[in-house]
Structure 1
Amino acid sequence: MNFSGSTVVFAEIIVYIFLMLLVGVYFCRKDLDHADYFLGGNKLPGWALAFSERATGESAYMFLGAVGFIYTTGLSGIWILSGMFLGILFSWLVLAKRFMKETKKYNVYTLTDYIAVRFPNHSNVIRWFSSIIMVIFFTCYLAAQFSGVGKTLYSFSGLDITVGTVIIGFIIIAYSCMGGFMSVVWTDTIQSFLMLLAFIIVPIAGYFEIQQNGLSISTELTAMGNGADNWFGGLTGLALGAMLFTNLSWFFGWLGGQPQLSSRFMALKDEKELKTAQTVAIGWTLIVYVGAFLTAIFAAVIYKQGTIEDSEMILPHMVFDLLPPWVSGIIISGILAAIMSTASSQLLVITTSISEDIIHKAMGISMKSTTLVKISRLMVIFSGLVGIVISLASGSIIYNMVSFAWAGVGNTFSAIILLIFYWKKTSGTGVVVTIITGFLSAILWSISPLEAIVSAKASTFIICLIVGIFVSLYWPDKQRKTV
């Protein structure tokens, strides 16, 4: 890209970032109590919560990790998106309504708090273990987002990855700190439109490039080898089963266990807003997932394997190669939007885990609502700085980092939520043991040779579900009290 083109892109990104900061400043000027700061005070419209949940759910993983993965694997990469889409359908059509009702019934603000109040005799243990685990895994998840920021800026400007990570990291911290859940949801809403636009424009540009150069999609995919031209990757038997199970296992992480997503369900006001949100969320996902898949496949046809040093940067490379600078700036803003929306939501998860679940509830420290908001803002700043440091120190691979966090939090707590919602015999002891099991399973399985056969995303969910059922039957609650 020439200097003038780079200047146009930078200018558009600066305008976008300035707009995000304005949203944070707007809500910072409002008198927010902790209900507003943590869950929006049930004042947000369903369509905005749907856009926010979708923008949060599709992070740097979708734009960089997933597109890069499909680019290198070919048609069989569709099973990852299929597993995720099925999970999203289930979460919005089945779980969202239950979350909305349970939140009002128990008057809670966080996923951890909800689990804790369902088991009063084990509430503090649940709060401590859940919060510690969420902080650990989501700090890694946050670091993956910051890495995505640095990579994206470097891809078109040559800006040092460290510098880019720090600059955008501080901006994310700033607007998350100022407005909490309210500012995060409204910035997410803007960001989701950019993400939608990106996955409409880029595949269209890729298709026209293929047509203009007289390329054959089937021929080029066949030339890639390794079953890239086959929907099942050329695999059969057990190998095929393992591949499908591993890729579809992303489904399990969408079953209510991701606190940054469940909070959007918890913030829904009524069934009317829920129906609107369901329509928006499912429609948005269909467009984005089809666009992401086509983008990756078209990229594989246009750019031979090995021509791009980092496969996770294929989308930015494609954007700058095929689109004029003013359009590229919009698309890159969309990529940054995906990263920033997820990072800001993860910051809030870490913050509420520490300030609300540990300091306020587990430790029983009483304080004014405004004081709790101030402490939460300090936690946002501290957690964000730690995430930046880890990102710079690890040089993380986005796909692996997100997959690891998905197993440790999403799959562990999805098993717990399903047990609580749909099995009355679930016990407090069963929940505590399941939390610990999920934490250990995600780590040990990920570093073992078994990860190459079946992903920790699948194994963690299944192990947690089995452990939760077994322990609850063996150690039932003698007197099950609920608030």
Structure 2
Amino acid sequence: MTANTPTLITFVVYIALMIFIGLAAYRSTNNLSDYILGGRSLGSFVTALSAGASDMSGWLLMGLPGAIYLSGVSESWIAIGLIAGAWLNWLFVAGRLRVHTEHNGNALTLPDYFSSRFEDNSRVLRLLSAVIILVFFTIYCASGIVAGARLFESTFGLSYETALWAGAAATIAYTLIGGFLAVSWTDTVQASLMIFALILTPVLVLVSTGGFDQTVAVIEAQNVEYLDMFKGASFVGVISLMAWGLGYFGQPHILARFMAIDSVKSIPAARRIGMAWMILCLAGAVAVGFFGIAYFQAHPEQVGPVSENPERIFIELTKWLFNPWVTGVLLSAILAAVMSTLSCQLLVCSSALTEDFYKAFLRPHAGERELVWFGRVMVLVVALVAILMATNPDNRVLGLVSYAWAGFGAAFGPVVLISVLWKGMTRNGALAGMLVGAVTVIVWKQNGWLGLYEIIPGFIFASIAILLFSKLGKAPSSTMLQRFDAADKEYQAAHRL
């Protein structure tokens, strides 16, 4: 064991708290709607923090600070793009998706919504979207398990194999037991822990380096390009980083939070809370990496682990700057970031298998209790597959996260966005958009044309395909138009209040 006793105790207490929340949520889970969407009962605060925590994985406390430490503020374009994308998602999609899913058969999952919204009796849309979710999210889950294993490995000196199971076990337990409510309630705790860590750490770094002006002067003296937003950045490079924000429109685990809020009237408050949390967290992560440059310049004897792996900068700063008990709490924030994203991804996979395969194709008349327990078993199955994928720490799973983000963003983003804004969209348009978006991402990624992030052409071509095939094919039915108008009327009425 390399970790001291206080750090170990705080980790154990934190994990025990998450499992206790899972058991509490178990008592409130009575049917499939409760397990998948929490009975659409989330308030503004829980929705906002749950959406934020499920979005920001270990990348927030490890990847982003590490990139800023290496290259300076020019790496922060991705944070700007994410903030813009998240705000637009809250503004245009959140409220509309909440009412449209309810008006379309009280849809519990995205494939369920697509199938009902476009009256797809062939169920091709449901099948295709469920397959996309399972493929990309299993990769996502594997990457989260690898990140958790790396944290346990470096903090406690465990072997990679032991750390793999230790990191995954707690998340699997509370997700399996409590479902969506457990995931959302734990996300709220985890989001609070993350923002606490990302505000406190850069403040302590500044105190130790002599204040803001002196810290910036040290960084500038070391390399003036660290302060240049455009250092080594081409137009295509900046656009590609900012285009990460486009991915928000198609991320099932984030969209599920919008579907689960108690009322469309709660969306504006949730948006304000969620965006404030996100801006503070991203600014804190950038500050950790940026101010860390000055800290390790002043303490070269401590820089070894960070030079070896820049993503360890947050871990090393907390170890050197804080009391061991506080360090344990702050390192738990990294575990919180990993667990919050992994848990909701496991649940979305379970939901797709339960609602969109088992219930839709195998057991259409299955009872609620049977479906909930099947969902729990599927959490375990998906988790075990992800753990098997993660057993080789040198595989390319982590590198595929941006690929999966682009895949969801291009395959689902335009379909979701246009489906809640335009009543003229049809099943053929949705199918064409989904296929064109996914295929474009795959082909563009393989060829790397123009050095452009594949989500940009994928999103553009998918949108064109939706408009083209919706106009060329059979017009929407009268019932489709009626449901759209009813949902839109409800949204506009709530929006005016």
Same fold (TM over 0.5): yes
Deviation, 1:398, is 7.5
Deviation, 1:396, is 5.2
Deviation, 1:221, is 4.9
- Aligned match of 1:244 in 238, 252, 267? 238
Percent identity of equivalent pairs: 29
2:493 maps to which residue?
none
Deviation, 1:211, is 1.8
1:45 maps to which residue?
43
2:209 maps to which residue?
210
- Pairs aligned (count): 474
1:277 maps to which residue?
270
1:32 maps to which residue?
30
Summarize deviations over 1:409-454 as a string: whole Å, max 9, x none.
Answer: 133211111221223332211211222223223233223232x711
Q: Counterpart amino acid of 2:276?
A: G
1:390 maps to which residue?
389
TM alignment of 1:355-374, pairs within 5 A = 355-363=354-362, 365-374=364-373
Question: 1: CA distance between counterparts of 2:223 and 2:473?
Answer: 54
TM alignment of 1:134-149, pairs within 5 A = 134-149=133-148
Deviation, 1:405, is 1.3
1:124 maps to which residue?
123
1:228 maps to which residue?
226
1:265 aligns with 2:258: yes
Q: Counterpart amino acid of 1:70?
A: I
Question: 2: CA distance between counterparts of 1:279 and 1:262?
Answer: 17
2:191 maps to which residue?
192
Deviation, 1:216, is 4.4
Question: 2: CA distance between counterparts of 1:200 and 1:81?
Answer: 16
Question: 2: CA distance between counterparts of 1:364 and 1:123?
Answer: 17
Q: Secondary structure at the match of 1:421?
A: helix
Summarize deviations over 1:261-281 as a string: whole Å, max 9, x none.
Answer: 111111112244323322221
Q: Secondary structure at the match of 1:120?
A: coil
1:328 maps to which residue?
327
Summarize deviations over 1:366-409 as a string: whole Å, max 9, x none.
Answer: 20011000110010000011111112235356863321111111
User: 8 Å contact 1:221–1:300 — kept in the other structure?
Assistant: no
The runs of 5 or more residues in structure 2 that have no matched partner are 298-302, 484-497
Summarize deviations over 1:11-52 as a string: whole Å, max 9, x none.
Answer: 000000001111112233445200100111122222111111
Question: 1: CA distance between counterparts of 2:479 and 2:118?
Answer: 7
User: 8 Å contact 1:144–1:396 — kept in the other structure?
Assistant: no
Deviation, 1:212, is 8.0
Q: Counterpart amino acid of 2:164?
A: T
Deviation, 1:198, is 0.7
- TM-score (normalizing by structure 1): 0.92
- TM-score (normalizing by structure 2): 0.89
Q: Counterpart amino acid of 1:453?
A: G
Q: Counterpart amino acid of 1:103?
A: T
Question: 1: CA distance between counterparts of 2:397 and 2:82?
Answer: 17
2:98 maps to which residue?
100
Q: Counterpart amino acid of 1:406?
A: W
Question: 2: CA distance between counterparts of 1:154 and 1:222?
Answer: 36
2:292 maps to which residue?
299
Distance 1:449 1:88, change over 3 A: closer
Question: 1: CA distance between counterparts of 2:320 and 2:58?
Answer: 20
Q: Secondary structure at the match of 1:24?
A: helix
Q: Counterpart amino acid of 1:269?
A: D
Question: 2: CA distance between counterparts of 1:213 and 1:133?
Answer: 47
Question: 2: CA distance between counterparts of 1:370 and 1:190?
Answer: 28
2:457 maps to which residue?
459
Q: Counterpart amino acid of 2:162?
A: V
Deviation, 1:96, is 1.4
Q: Counterpart amino acid of 2:25?
A: F
User: 8 Å contact 1:172–1:340 — kept in the other structure?
Assistant: yes
Q: Secondary structure at the match of 1:402?
A: helix
Q: Secondary structure at the match of 1:429?
A: helix
Deviation, 1:217, is 2.6
Summarize deviations over 1:298-336 as a string: whole Å, max 9, x none.
Answer: 123333698522222222122212222111111111110
TM alignment of 1:18-97, pairs within 5 A = 18-97=16-95
User: 8 Å contact 2:410–2:438 — kept in the other structure?
Assistant: no
Q: CA RMSD in A?
A: 2.4
User: 8 Å contact 2:426–2:476 — kept in the other structure?
Assistant: no
Q: Counterpart amino acid of 1:36?
A: D
Question: 2: CA distance between counterparts of 1:30 and 1:220?
Answer: 52
Distance 1:214 1:358, change over 3 A: same
User: 8 Å contact 1:53–1:264 — kept in the other structure?
Assistant: yes
Summarize deviations over 1:196-238 as a string: whole Å, max 9, x none.
Answer: 111011111221232289964355356457x433111244xxx
Distance 1:480 1:64, change over 3 A: farther
Q: Secondary structure at the match of 1:228?
A: helix
User: 8 Å contact 1:425–1:476 — kept in the other structure?
Assistant: no
Deviation, 1:480, is 6.4
1:254 aligns with 2:248: yes
Q: Secondary structure at the match of 1:319?
A: helix
User: 8 Å contact 1:67–1:296 — kept in the other structure?
Assistant: yes
Question: 2: CA distance between counterparts of 1:184 and 1:37?
Answer: 10
Q: Secondary structure at the match of 1:352?
A: helix
Distance 1:53 1:230, change over 3 A: same
Summarize deviations over 1:109-159 as a string: whole Å, max 9, x none.
Answer: 112211111111356101111011111101111111111111112232222
Question: 2: CA distance between counterparts of 1:467 and 1:50?
Answer: 32
The runs of 5 or more residues in structure 1 that have no matched partner are none
